[in-house]
Chains A and B, each alone.
Chain A
Amino acid sequence: MTTPAQPSPARPGGKPLLSIRDLRTVFATDAGLARAVDGLTLDVQPGETVGIVGESGSGKTVTALSILRLIRAPGRIERGSSVAFDGNDLATCSDESLRTIRGRRIGMVFQEPMTALNPVLTVGSQVAEVVRVHERTTRQAASDRAVAMLDTVRIPGAAARARQYPHELSGGTRQRVMIAMALVMHPGLLIADEPTTALDVTVQAQILALLTELQETIGMAVLLITHDLAIIAAVASRVVVMYGGQAVEEAPVGELFAAAHHPYTQGLLRAVPRPQPHGGHPARLAEIPGSVPPATAWPQGCRFHDRCPFAWDRCRQEMPPLYPLSATHASRCHLAAEPGRRIAGGSPR
């Protein structure tokens, strides 16, 4: 049921910093083998911001965990997967060399800052610990670096805040601490998985602006994982849409929003409520019928076919490859081969 990995569309720029080829991560469950990520190929260039957007169950978070090899039994990364980061294959390298990369050259920020921080250590000591794990330095020097980093992420009164415990801080400040921990070693790549989902909108705007600004000063690449198309539009330069453990569309951000090709991407874009700038009563929202199928039972053929308004026999039988539409735009939809079907099929509402 799997097709050979498709080459990622060629992109301007030199050698990618992160190069994922045919990543397959599976979990053994009571209901059978869950193919959470099933043949993902993705490049991230130095300094670039790539967004992965998808719904729950699409495989976006498992992708993030797989890059850092944070998959534990009953999950495993299947043989043949490759995650090349600056010359190392993270999928196969030793634990020792992985430790020199995790937290030092690749930083991570997760959704829930309360559960990601240790409740019994001060936040300053948690940032300093990152420094001491990766560098031979004195306790005092590490502590000074931590305070400086807390200041860099705009925590007012950083020296005093460094002595506080996570429960004493607001949600926004905790997420700033997480960002300080992720960036204190000035990594080349930051993986941010839903970094603002638990935050209020005004704080979300602050955190996204901070991430964008630090990205420029540090010159790092960002892999941003989210379900929120508005966040993608605000910060990403290139987007990968995931569905059913696979990339279903990949494009520069402007092109994706202006000329989405895959019916799933089109459906997602239409389903988002938008504030009406000039008032008036908004029209009924467009729906995508049904819901994401479980990873243990992906439909045969195209994994979106039973929710797709255009599906025909070919979609039920043959899994579409990632068809290149241009040098930078690809879509996993047979409509790329048979565009006439788009008119013949049902019209999406």
Chain B
Amino acid sequence: MMAAAGEMPLVTVRDLHVGFPLAQSMFGPARSWVRAVDGVSFSVPRGETLALVGESGCGKTTTARALLRLVPATSGAVSFDGIDVLALRPEPLRRLRRRMQLVFQDPYSSLNPRRTVGDSIGEGLLIHHLASGDAADARVRQSLEEVGLHPDFARRYPYELSGGQRQRVGIARALAVEPEFIVCDEPVSALDVSVQAQIINLLQDLQRDHALTYLYIAHDLAIVAQVATHVAVMYFGRIVELGRTASVFQVPLMPYTRALLASVLVPDPAAPRTRVVLAGESPSPATPPPGCPFHPRCPDPRKDAACTSTIPPLEEKSPGHFAACIKEPVRPPDIPVPS
């Protein structure tokens, strides 16, 4: 649905469901399940960046982990370069994992404190039999240089590094095995502002130089506008809006997306001062509301009984721009944002 004409997207996810047992008796099956990811579909075109955005608990990280098969999916399909990822047996899955890498949020806990930076970066080369000995060392040093660190960092330990340097090492580790696809899970949210910009620029440079495809998980919409070509907004385990970044940011169709964008504070004291645009918080996954999961918080004045009984499907409202709302989209100025 988002692929360039004639070219297959690198990653396609179809109707993905991931459930976690909620009330587990000591013996026997779970009595109930939390639907962490509840029918998610999207695709990521080659060389582009899809951002999965939403508040904590919306299912964005679980979606990414399920597509990498780090958590088991309940149902659905994931295709990577034509390969059916969810059906792969262990050995071909291991080979595929070289092509799909992950950069973690917390550069403090994602590196082994007892191993040198060089060992952490080189591990993937050994596991995937890509290089060993001097060739592996050379590749590690090259990866460090690509992320803007001196090759001598290979001999250092994580505690010797700043947060920004650790995140560069995390990126070098992903890069060393020459992947095509990198999931970036909130890669800058633990970093200081002045260092965030360095890492975002680095990720963009690497994408251009290595033709990388990114799935970028974030809650910070200002960063998403900076890095992503496409955005999928998640709420309560579902994608509620999906489209090109410029389209979603300029003409948000779903009331939740509008509220999320209006909540973003602008670093400008002349901008309107804080106003509450959305009351309440996401519902508890143990007690999902009937109908549209957003209806208890929805500020749209046209909200009615249908919203509380129908789960809105994700529909194409304008070319390439999808939203899950049973009301006809109106352009933002037509709907007053309640204060």
A interface residues with partner B (beta carbon < 8 Å):
55-56, 170-173, 200-206, 208-209, 212, 227-235, 253-254, 257, 267-269, 271-276, 278-280, 282, 284-289, 291-292
Set of chain A residues within 8 Å of B163, measured between Cβ atoms? 56, 291
User: Which residues in chain B, 126-180, are within 8 Å of chain A measured between CB atoms?
Assistant: 162-165
From B164, B274, B282, contact of A209 by CB (8 A): B274
25 contacts between A and B (CB under 8 A): A55-B192, A55-B193, A55-B194, A56-B163, A171-B281, A173-B281, A200-B56, A201-B55, A202-B55, A204-B265, A205-B276, A206-B279, A208-B265, A209-B276, A231-B265, A268-B193, A273-B197, A273-B200, A273-B223, A274-B225, A279-B249, A282-B225, A284-B204, A291-B194, A291-B195
Kindly state whether residue B305 has any CB partner on chain A within 8 Å. Answer: no
- Nearest chain A CB to B55 CB, angstrom units: 4
Set of chain B residues within 8 Å of A289, measured between Cβ atoms? 198
Given A231-B265, A274-B267, A279-B246; A203-B192 close (CB under 8 Å): no
Set of chain A residues within 8 Å of B24, measured between Cβ atoms? none
Given A275-B261, A291-B165; A285-B200 close (CB under 8 Å): yes
Given A227-B193, A257-B269, A291-B195; A201-B221 close (CB under 8 Å): yes
Is A273 touching B273 in the complex (CB atoms < 8 A)?
Answer: no
- Nearest chain B CB to A38 CB, angstrom units: 19
Kindly state whether residue B263 has any CB partner on chain A within 8 Å. Answer: yes
Given A170-B281, A268-B193; A274-B266 close (CB under 8 Å): yes
Question: Which residue of B has the minimal Cβ distance to A173?
Answer: B281
Kindly state whether residue B222 has any CB partner on chain A within 8 Å. Answer: yes
Q: How many A-B residue pairs have CB under 8 A?
A: 145
Set of chain B residues within 8 Å of A171, measured between Cβ atoms? 56, 281
The contact string, 1 if C-beta is below 8 Å from chain A, for chain B 258-292, is 01110111111111011111110110000000000
Give A291 to B223 CA distance when docked, in angstroms: 20
Kindly state whether residue B112 has any CB partner on chain A within 8 Å. Answer: no
Kindly list 6 other residue pairs between chains A and B, CB separation below 8 angstroms, not including A171-B281, A229-B193, A279-B250: A205-B263, A209-B276, A273-B196, A276-B225, A285-B226, A291-B162
Set of chain B residues within 8 Å of A230, measured between Cβ atoms? 264-267
Given A234-B265, A234-B273, A235-B273; A285-B201 close (CB under 8 Å): yes
Is B267 touching A282 in the complex (CB atoms < 8 A)?
Answer: no
Is B264 touching A275 in the complex (CB atoms < 8 A)?
Answer: yes
- Nearest chain B CB to A271 CB, angstrom units: 4
Set of chain B residues within 8 Å of A212, measured between Cβ atoms? 273-274
- Nearest chain A CB to B283 CB, angstrom units: 10
Set of chain A residues within 8 Å of B249, measured between Cβ atoms? 275-276, 279
Set of chain A residues within 8 Å of B55, measured between Cβ atoms? 200-203
Set of chain B residues within 8 Å of A275, measured between Cβ atoms? 221-222, 225, 249, 261, 264, 266
Set of chain B residues within 8 Å of A285, measured between Cβ atoms? 197, 200-201, 226
Question: Which residue of B has the minimal Cβ distance to A307?
Answer: B194
Set of chain A residues within 8 Å of B221, measured between Cβ atoms? 201, 275
Set of chain A residues within 8 Å of B204, measured between Cβ atoms? 284
Set of chain B residues within 8 Å of A278, measured between Cβ atoms? 250
Question: Which residue of B has the minimal Cβ distance to A172?
Answer: B281
Is B192 touching A56 in the complex (CB atoms < 8 A)?
Answer: yes
Set of chain B residues within 8 Å of A170, measured between Cβ atoms? 281
Question: Which residue of A has the minimal Cβ distance to B246?
Answer: A279
B interface residues with partner A (beta carbon < 8 Å):
55-56, 162-165, 192-198, 200-201, 204, 219-223, 225-226, 246, 249-250, 259-261, 263-271, 273-279, 281-282
Is B267 touching A205 in the complex (CB atoms < 8 A)?
Answer: no
Is A206 touching B269 in the complex (CB atoms < 8 A)?
Answer: no
Question: Which residue of B has the minimal Cβ distance to A264?
Answer: B194
- Nearest chain A CB to B268 CB, angstrom units: 6
- Nearest chain A CB to B64 CB, angstrom units: 18
Set of chain A residues within 8 Å of B278, measured between Cβ atoms? 202, 205-206
Give A292 to B194 CA distance when docked, in angstroms: 9
Give A288 to B200 CA distance when docked, in angstroms: 13
Set of chain A residues within 8 Å of B281, measured between Cβ atoms? 170-173, 200, 202-203
- Nearest chain A CB to B241 CB, angstrom units: 15
Give A253 to B268 CA distance when docked, in angstroms: 9
Most buried by B among A202, A208, A271, A284: A202
Is B274 touching A292 in the complex (CB atoms < 8 A)?
Answer: no
Is B193 touching A272 in the complex (CB atoms < 8 A)?
Answer: yes
Given A234-B274, A275-B249, A276-B225; A287-B201 close (CB under 8 Å): yes
Give A289 to B148 CA distance when docked, in angstroms: 11
- Nearest chain A CB to B150 CB, angstrom units: 13
Set of chain B residues within 8 Å of A229, measured between Cβ atoms? 193, 267
Question: When A and B form their complex, which 4 residue pairs have the shortest distance between CB atoms, in order from nearest?
Answer: A230-B265, A200-B55, A288-B194, A55-B192
Give A303 to B280 CA distance when docked, in angstroms: 44
Is B263 touching A201 in the complex (CB atoms < 8 A)?
Answer: yes
Give A231 to B268 CA distance when docked, in angstroms: 9
Set of chain A residues within 8 Å of B200, measured between Cβ atoms? 273, 285
- Nearest chain A CB to B184 CB, angstrom units: 15
Is B259 touching A202 in the complex (CB atoms < 8 A)?
Answer: yes
- Nearest chain A CB to B289 CB, angstrom units: 15
